[in-house]
Every structure is written in structure tokens, then in C-alpha cells.
Structure 1
Amino acid sequence: MYNGVPADTDVLLAGTRMWRIYEDGKPYSPDSFNPCKRDLVDARNLDLRKVKRPDQGRFDPVHDPAVCPGGAALGKFLYVGLGPGAVVGEGILRDRDIPVGPIPRAWVHGLGLVELEVTVAITVAVLDDQASLLKINQDSSLTSYDSADYAATRVTCTNLLVETPTAFGVRYQCRNGLDERAAMLIDRGSTEMPIRIVNRGCIDEPGWAQETVEKGLFESYGRVFD
């Protein structure tokens, strides 16, 4: 259980590049922070063969004041990979049964890739090293639990961000890529976050986006598409 101590922090420096996979053709910009106030669902006793997987991410802020006082002030959120391998792990391989052979190209059908740049340094809570996790009475399970336990990880993350007011997100180890890092950023009600789009493209089509994803898949995981 989180012990209420402010988390260690680090800085994503101006110029840091980040990547995000998004559904192509949506009306919102791929650098938009998600305003969804997603229901907190404990899925540990759900039979996912019979019911749909709850629509919630590992660290989505919990806005219910009865569960996480102060959580609503964290505002909107955005998940990003801090490298091409990270965005492949989080955006393509996560929650998949990985086949023995090539990765099905159908998995990226209709998806786009955007490269973002930090324009002003962003402070984030550190969840990707042993000492920082121990300080807040956590271990690697915080970033490695599967989706059935996301209710617990959401509550923990929300509470530690409430207690770490200088942090505009968390940096963590990818479950599907132990050498990769990702971040969940929050806006704390700000109307504009210091990030900008550098490049974007459809992964289905030959070009920058497809090449970047294929390179990340091969260099970080030793896999190729069919």
C-alpha cells in the first residue's frame, strides 16, 4: 500500500522526444490529453472470456473524491513512449498473446504514430528504479500487474501524484519491454501542455511511421511483422 510519501522526481528536458500510437481518423489531435473520467473497475473477479475488458489504463487518474481525494485536480492525461521500442510495447504488444512467428500486421491496421517533443521541461514522478519505488512502499508489481489489477494501480498512482504536487506525470518501466520507459502525463487543469507534434503518419502506409514501428519492433523485441 502507498505510504503517502512524496515520490522522487526527475525531469523530461526540453527537446525530449516521445512517441504515441493512436487510432487514425479520429477527430481529435494525437497530442490531445484524454479528458475521460473512466470508471474505476476491479476486474480481478471478471471472466474476460465473457465480458468486455474494462476501458481503463494502468495509471488513469481517479477523479472520484470518495476514493482519491484531490484526484480530480490532476486533470486530463496522455500516455507516451520514451522510445520507439516503448511505444511498440505499450501501443501494440500490450495485452496480446504473442505468436511464435511474425507479429500480425493486422494489429496495426488503422493506427497512426505521432512523434512529440517536450518544449519546456516537465517534472515527473519516478517509478522505474528500485530505490524510488521502495521510498513509496511499492515494488515492480506496480508497473507489471496485468489489466485485471488496474484499479489498484490507478488508485496508487493518483494518490502519489496528489502528494507530489510538482509532478506532471509518472515515468515507468514498460511491462512488455523491460529496457523501455514510458510516461503518463497529466495537465493538472492547464489549458496547454509544453509538447508539440514533430512528425506523424499512418502505420499502414509505407513511410516514416511504418519504418519507425518496424525498427522498434525488431531492435527492442527481435520480431518482425508478417
Structure 2
Amino acid sequence: MRVTAPAEWPTTADEAVAMQDELRPSVVTKNLGTAEFRTVAGLDSAYHDNGAVAAAAVVLDSATLEPVETVVAHGTVTFPYVPGLLAFRELPTTVAALEKLSTTPDLLVCDGQGLAHPRQFGLACHLGVLTGVPTIGVAKSVWGDYTEPGRERGATSDITIDGRVVGRVLRTRTEVKPLFVSVGHLIDLDTACTQVLALTPHYRQPETTRRADQLCRQALRDATGA
């Protein structure tokens, strides 16, 4: 898979914020195609206390949710922990994993934020712009304001920041905590939520995220012996 990555990643918070500000205008919040996604990739990373990181990309057939391709990349975290800039701890190794894919998925699903981010440019937006592939952010926590949606599967409510809708609270399992969905790039919010529901037939988390999480955790254990 081809990714347009920078020659050098930011090493300071000021550099990272500047990169977010530079790339934010490139985000497209609508579907530019038919919104038919035959393959969907889940992305996730696992970390060790020594700074080691393993990033996984798991591509599934959207109709069967069966694996099409899986890859892992290993790296070392060098960027400091800064709220709102967590993407820069994941981006280098995640991009390395995506570059190992032999095919380009039709949709990327990130375990993180898209527009529902203090600068409206979370991990999903960043990866969407770098890859040119429709991308969704699906997070377990939220930036912004919202009201609790209904208790049934499929219930939603808006996430807002300064009065602007930046995402949607989506309950994927009845009587279970909801997820927080936001656009990353090249997709609209309605389509994003439809895709997340399709990826959660049995569990709270999308199958893409569940399998990427399992893969990167196992890869990290194998690499560190922990």
C-alpha cells in the first residue's frame, strides 16, 4: 500500500501542532465514490514500558468479516506523551505497517479519533490524508460534549465541540457502553456509523479493531518476551 509520509516526523509538540494545522484543510467529510467498501482494514498499536511498539493492520472482507491480509510493524516510540498529539506516537509504526500491505483496503478503521479531536485532526484524519483512503475514527473515549443515546443497538447522539458536530455517539450493543465515531477522511458521518454497525455483529468493538488489537498485542509479547 502506498502512503505519502513526511520525510521526517515531528519531534516536538509545536512541530506536531503545526503539521496538524497544515494538513487539516485537506480533510474531506463526504463520500467521493459509491461508499461500497469490499475490504476494510483495522489499525491498532500496542506499547511496552521500554518504548517498543507493535502496529498491526488487519484487512477483512466486509461481507464475511474473514481475514484477507494481516501485517505487523515494530518500532520505538520517541514522541512524548501530549494530550491531543497521541497520534504522533503511533503514526510512524502504523504507516510502516500499512506500507507492508500488498493491496490497498477500501476503508481504514482507526482505534482513535477523527474530527472529534481538540484541533479536529485526530489519528484517523491524519492517516486518511496520508493514504488518500476513506478513514473512520472509532474511539472508546471522547473529546467534546454529548448526551447519552438510547440503550438499544444503533442508538446515536451527536458529539459537539464549540457547537459544531464533530462525531456521533453510537451504541453497538444494547445496554452496553457506546463508542465514539468520527469522520477521518473521504467519508460522511452517516456512512461511517453504518459501517461501524456492520463491523459489530457480535461485540462492542468493530471486528477490525478487535483483531488488530489481538495481533499487535501478541506481536509485542513475542518481541519483548513480556
Q: TM-score, normalised by structure 2?
A: 0.28
Higher relative contact order (Cα pairs below 8 Å, separated by 6+ residues) = 1
Q: Give the TM-score normalised by structure 1.
A: 0.28
Structure showing greater radius of gyration is 1
